[in-house]
Amino acid sequence: MKKIAAYLCAFAALVCLSACGPSKPTLRLYTWSDYLDLDLVKEFEQKFDCKVVIDCFDSNEMMYAKIKAGGSGYDIIQPTTYMVKIMAEQNMLQPMNLDNIPNAKYIDKSYIDRFAYDKTLKLSIPYMIGYACIAYNKKQLGQIPDTWGVYDTDKYGKRLTLLNDMRETIGAALKYKGYSLNTRSDKELAEAKEVLLRWKKNVSRLENEAYKGGIASGEFYLVQGYKGDLFQVLDENKDLDFMLPREGMSLSCDDWVIPVGAPNKELAEKFINFMLEPANNAKNMVFTMYTAPMEEAMKYLPDDLKNSNKIRLPKEIMEKSEMIEDLGDDNAKYIKIWDEIKAD
Interface positions, 275-334, toward other proteins (CB under 8 A): 328-329, 331
Which residue among 101, 107, 159, 179 contacts other proteins (CB under 8 A)? 159
Which residue among 12, 14, 15, 59 contacts other proteins (CB under 8 A)? 59
Q: Which is nearer to other proteins, 110 or 331 (CB)?
A: 331
Which residue among 95, 145, 157, 263 contacts other proteins (CB under 8 A)? 157
- 66 and 57 in contact (C-beta within 8 Å)? yes
Q: Which is nearer to other proteins, 235 or 340 (CB)?
A: 340
Contact flag: residue 342 with other proteins (CB under 8 A): yes
Q: Nearest Cα to 295, choosing from 136, 89, 87, 129? A: 129
* Distance in Å, CB of 89 to other proteins, minimum: 8
Q: Which is nearer to other proteins, 196 or 292 (CB)?
A: 196
* Distance in Å, CB of 186 to other proteins, minimum: 17
* Distance in Å, CB of 125 to other proteins, minimum: 23
Q: Which is nearer to other proteins, 178 or 213 (CB)?
A: 213
* Distance in Å, CB of 217 to other proteins, minimum: 7
* Distance in Å, CB of 96 to other proteins, minimum: 23
Contact flag: residue 335 with other proteins (CB under 8 A): yes
* Bridging pattern class, strands 26-31 and 203-206: unpaired
* Distance in Å, CB of 102 to other proteins, minimum: 34
- Tell me how far apart the alpha carbons of residues 107 and 118 are, in angstroms, rounded to a whole number: 13
Which residue among 114, 205, 320, 333 contacts other proteins (CB under 8 A)? 205
Which residue among 32, 35, 64, 115 contacts other proteins (CB under 8 A)? 64
User: Residue 291 carries which DSSP code?
Assistant: B
* Distance in Å, CB of 162 to other proteins, minimum: 8
Contact flag: residue 165 with other proteins (CB under 8 A): yes
In sign, the C-alpha dihedral spanning 229, 315, 83, 292 is: positive
Give how far Cα 26 sits from Cα of 15, 98, 267, Å. Answer: 17, 21, 9
Written as one string, the DSSP assignment of 228-276 is HHHHHHHHH-TTEEEE--TT--EEEEEEEB-BTT-TTHHHHHHHHHHHH
| Upper half-sphere CA count for residue 210 (Cβ side, 13 Å) | 11
- Tell me how far apart the alpha carbons of residues 108 and 258 are, in angstroms, rounded to a whole number: 21
* Bridging pattern class, strands 222-226 and 125-137: antiparallel
Q: At what angle do helices 38-47 and 278-288 cross, to 10 degrees?
A: 150
* Bridging pattern class, strands 26-31 and 51-56: parallel
Residues binding other proteins (CB under 8 A): 59, 61, 64-65, 86, 90, 157-159, 165-166, 200, 203-206, 210, 217-219, 328-329, 331, 335, 339-340, 342-344
